[in-house]
Amino acid sequence: MRRLARYVLRRRKRRTEPPGRPKLLIFDFDGTIADTFAAAVTILNTLAGEFGFRPLQPIDLERARDMRTRQLMKFLNIPTRKMSRIARRGSEELHARIHSIQPLPGMPGAMRQLQAQGYSLGIITSNTEVNVQIFLQNHGLELFDFVRCSSKLLGKARMIRSVMRRQRVRAADILFVGDETRDIEAAKKAGIRMAAVTWGYNSRRSLDAMKPDLVFETPAELVHYLANRYPAQSDSGEPALQRESPVS
């Protein structure tokens, strides 16, 4: 009985302890790092004719920003079975435009500051690794330990768990930064902390409704929060996260 009581007390203590400083910051790409919104709408409407779904009209843009992914799919009459094909075609179309895509204001400086504060950085995206690497090279942002991609629009939770295994990092040591409700869904499924950002695809209202752990209005707010909540620490002697090789 004493052993059981000590085990229960330890479990309760772990549950009530505040989360510590994350070791790994995982970023979404489109709408979080890269300003792909206008290109994405153009591509979506181009693919509407190819796949037979409803185009997104300018009058519906703000309404669409309030929708979750599945709601938007229903609104545009996109069958679930076609989503992987549409996502792949969208990445192909974006590849033709990738050299014109710019970083979102404030993000390059923010990511450099976060790396300087000792955070390991990674990217998980439904875009392609080739597109991401070209973008990073174009803008001098080769700061990331890994770039992981999924052709499935709703497959980020699985990718997060894969990263946890490959990088040998605990869920408690990760903060996921993304701009969409599906990012919040993925973080919750994977059991990691989530910082939603309002400068991307989904509206503040729709993000708040999903109850992320944190919400930031600007990249500077994200950097300021982490710098003040978790001051930079001296080297603890722990091994650094493994950096994956870039695409050749």
Residues acting as catalytic residues:
28
Signed CA dihedral, 48, 52, 57, 63: sign only: negative
Beta-strand ranges (E) seen in the chain are 24-27, 120-125, 146-149, 174-178, 193-197, 214-216
> C-alpha distances in angstroms, 180 versus 28, 29, 167?
9, 11, 24
Spatial CA neighbour of 243 closest among 149, 142, 135, 130: 142
Phi and psi torsions of 154, nearest 5°: -110, 30
